[in-house]
Amino acid sequence: MPDSFDIFLSYHSWDIRAVKIIARVLHNRGFKAFLDKWNLTPGQPWLTEIEDALQMSRAFGIFIGPQGLGPVQVAEMRAALNRKFREKGYPVIPVLLPGSKPENREHLPSFLAQQTWIDFRSGLENEGEMERFIAQISSKNHHPVFFSRASDVVNVDKSKLLRALVLLEPEDLVYLGEITGIRRAEITSDGVKTIAVSLVNRAEIIGCLEELQVNLIIEYPAIAVKSGIT
């Protein structure tokens, strides 16, 4: 595997043909794109190589086709967005493929839905969109930065985090806990403020306070801004 990639290509297995076409264009233009079908080592643990490739890539492209996002894509997307908030300037580029539905965009995390989109819904031969895609990759003078843990780069102000959490509904707090790795049974269920305090305390105990904050920013960016987190 190369020491670095210009972009990591995240896609639903249904869309592999379209993504391969785009990957070949990138290759012909001199970019090193990570595509699992091309770059994974046979017989090696694929999850470890995916994690390494995500860290070694200067940008992240997430492709949305007719089937929406696949389960592996969701995990890759969260890792990329997590890195985006830890490492300023890391490009996360959503790409609409032919046949994708407008509602696919609405079902994505709020922060991702606000990013600049590349729109190939009219066809992969759309040269204007291809140039926009290439420009987003090549214009970023960005190099991978390696971290030993999230706390190296993310500072959590617990008072601001709590101020944001109490603005959410109880079901939103439970959802944030679940995607952060905190089970419903591990937090109290008695009122928004109590749930929020319990959620923060539990996240701190198990060492995922930074991840809780990043997930809040990804899922509820307006609340994060209102509370002074971003």
For the chain, the domains span: 7-138, 152-226
Q: What is the pLDDT along the chain (230 residues), one digit of tens a residue?
A: 556 899 999 999 999 999 999 999 999 999 999 888 776 655 555 567 778 888 889 999 999 999 888 888 888 888 888 788 777 788 889 999 999 876 655 556 666 666 678 999 999 999 999 999 999 898 654 444 333 333 333 568 899 999 999 999 999 999 999 988 898 888 887 888 999 999 999 999 998 888 888 888 877 878 888 888 86
pTM of model > 0.85? no
Find the DSSP H helices in the chain. 16-28, 36-39, 46-56, 71-86, 102-106, 110-113, 127-138, 158-165, 170-180, 192-205, 209-219, 221-226
CATH superfamily to which 7-138 belongs: Toll/interleukin-1 receptor homology (TIR) domain (3.40.50.10140)
Q: How far is CA 76 from the centre of its chain?
A: 6
